[in-house]
Amino acid sequence: MDPEPKDVIVLGAIRRGEKKFDKIQRITQVDPEELNSILEKLEERGFIQVEEKKGWFGKKIELIVTEKGSTELDERIHEIQERWDNMSQIYKTGDKQKLQECMEENKSFLPMMMFFGVMDMMMFSMMFSMMGMAMTDYVPTDSIPEDSGMDGGDSGMDGDGFDFDIGF
């Protein structure tokens, strides 16, 4: 069974160097209960390990990605890159129906594509314009940066260019 998209995003945040629960929660925007469940699953599968360290104020807990977890993450990133490349190719053909079907099939992977910087946000915006749809049909409103200018119908240009916060 493949890890769920949120699992992969959490694993990616840890590999980027986020070792503490509160920082992982803030970056991934996963609610604390769900994050705890995800971390337990990742540990059970051997993708992360929990290290207890002694500090000035007592013990502190840090999360570390294992070799197995890093390999799994690389495979998932490669997979979402292939999915994005496929969507890009379909967009370039101009086939609206096929693009809409492909985006629907990949709906659960879109947050991962954004988090890992796999997608070209300008092209992603143009895909929605081509289909005459709003980005919010596929991406939760709270995941879209406020000043992105991406409300679906317009060109996405607001004079200042684009400003995306994808977690880097």
Both 74 and 96 in a single domain? yes
Shared-domain flag, residues 120 and 78: yes
* 22 plus 73 within the same structural domain: no
pLDDT band per the 50, 70, 90 thresholds, residue 61 = confident
Is 88 in the same domain as 129?
A: yes
pLDDT above 90 (res 151): no
Higher pLDDT, 128 or 99: 99
What pTM was estimated for this model as a whole?
A: 0.73
Mean pLDDT across the stretch 133-154? 54
Q: What is the mean pLDDT of residues 3-16?
A: 90
116 and 52 assigned to the same domain: no
DSSP states of the chain as a string? -PPPHHHHHHHHHHHTT--SHHHHHHHHT--HHHHHHHHHHHHHTTSEEEEEEEETTEEEEEEEE-HHHHHHHHHHHHHHHHHHHHHHHHHHHT-HHHHHHHHHHTGGGHHHHHHTT-S-HHHHHHHHHHHT--GGGTS-GGGS-TTS--SSSS-S--SS--------
What pLDDT sits at residue 3?
Answer: 62
Whether 95 is in a domain gets the answer: yes
Q: Are residues 78 and 137 in the same domain?
A: yes
109 lies in a domain? yes
**Residues 11 and 41 reside in one and the same domain:** yes
Mean pLDDT, range 54-63, rounded to an integer: 81
Last residue of a domain, one of 39, 65, 91: 65
- Bigger pLDDT: 128 vs 22: 22
d(CA 92, CA 65): 37
Provide the residue type at 48 as one letter: I
pLDDT higher than 70, residue 141: no
Considering its fold, how many domains does the chain have in total? 2
Residue 165 resides in a domain:
no
| Domain around 22 | 5-65
| Tens digit of each residue's pLDDT (9 = 90 or more) over 68-88 | 999 999 999 999 999 999 999
pLDDT for the residue numbered 45: 95
Model confidence at 59, pLDDT cuts 50, 70, 90, reads confident
In a domain, 26, yes or no: yes
Alpha-carbon distance of 124 to 121, in angstroms, equals 5
Same-domain status, 37 and 81: no
- What pLDDT score does 89 carry? 95
Average pLDDT, the chain: 81
Shared domain for 83 and 130, answered yes or no, is yes
Residues 35 and 85 in one domain: no
Same-domain check for residues 48 and 95: no
Does any domain span residue 162?
no
Residue 81 shares a structural domain with residue 52: no
Q: What's the pLDDT band for 60 if we cut at 50, 70, 90?
A: confident
Domain membership of residue 158 (yes or no) is no
